[in-house]
Amino acid sequence: MTLRSERGRSAILFRLVLAASLTIGGAAFGQDAGSIDTSRLVSVGGDVTEIIYALGEEGRLVGRDSTSLYPAAALKVPDVGYMRQLSPEGIMATNPTAILAVEGSGPPETLTLLKNAAIPMETVPERYDGAGIVEKIIRVGALLGVDEKAGALAARVRADLDAALADAETRPETEQKRVLFILSMQGGKIMAAGKGTAADAIVRMSGAINATATFQGYKPVTDEAVIAAKPDVVLMMTRGGSHGASDEELFRHPALALTPAAETGSVIRMDGLHLLGFGPRTASAVRDLNDAIYGDAHAAR
């Protein structure tokens, strides 16, 4: 899908989602949002927490997961653990009246225990496009009972993202660079991003090509596959993915050493939540990544 078709499709979906939110409000959730006490809220998912802060509703938070690192004020909220390895004891210790979690949170046994404890829990779908960001904002706003604030925020975020995508579109396809996103390199084994991932989406939205879009999800790739991918740029996270390897150490990898990225020393490192969060700041991530890929310098971010 081209950036132009993505913008058109997302704009249509935005209007549909926004219109639905204004008519049904909390009906989008598993129960009537008005019946849920959100005065003591646990937020699971960095994007969900960012949205709560962007809506100005952070005063409800009594807990957040370890991926919720932005804004800095969120770090003062008690940490209940990693979103996929949540501890029921840690969450219940905050005495929450409700839990708002991004899709994929777990593990299942923890979710079952929380359900049995009669703590209302709502899930926000995880999608990697503009319409998905809008839907997250609308759904969080509906649960918190601030539909108007959510609608206004969604409109601002959508407009900003459309402008960022339009800027990225101006580069001819013949000039687009190939980007290899490396999730990790434990034991010298490269874990790269395929289709259907947040990394694949943000690379394409930024006007570049995912060099390993031949498979689905995040998977280990062989040295031969890395060489065949011919990446012009290596993209990594500053948290969790680089394991402290310097650019020089990175390109000592036998496969990466034979890529165009090694010839130019092109490595981009960006904050993981900013890059892959798909929340209110995604337009900024698109601009920053586009600038880093095609600008004069590929400085660490």
CA nearest to 261, candidates 284, 216, 292, 215: 292
In the chain, the percentage of residues whose pLDDT exceeds 70 is 85
What local confidence, expressed as pLDDT, does residue 295 receive?
A: 86
How confident is the prediction for the chain on average, in pLDDT?
88
CATH superfamily of 3-166: Nitrogenase molybdenum iron protein domain (3.40.50.1980)
Q: Cα 199 vs. chain centroid, distance in angstroms?
A: 8
239 contact partners, CB below 8 Å, separation of at least 6? 271, 272, 273
Nearest in space to 162 (alpha carbons), one of 10, 288, 1, 2: 10
What mean pLDDT comes out for the span 5-25?
48
- Whether 3-166 shares its CATH topology with 173-294 is answered yes
* Structure confidence by residue, pLDDT tens digits, 140-194: 999 999 999 999 999 999 999 999 999 999 988 889 999 999 999 888 899 999 9
Give the model's pLDDT for residue 183. Answer: 95
What is the pLDDT, as a whole number, of residue 171? 87
Domain ranges of the chain: 3-166, 173-294
Distance of CA 197 to the CA centre of its chain: 9
Q: Is the pLDDT of residue 275 over 90?
A: yes
H-helix or E-strand spanning residue 295: none
Write the class of the CATH domain 173-294.
alpha beta
Query: Is the pLDDT higher at 7 or at 282?
Result: 282
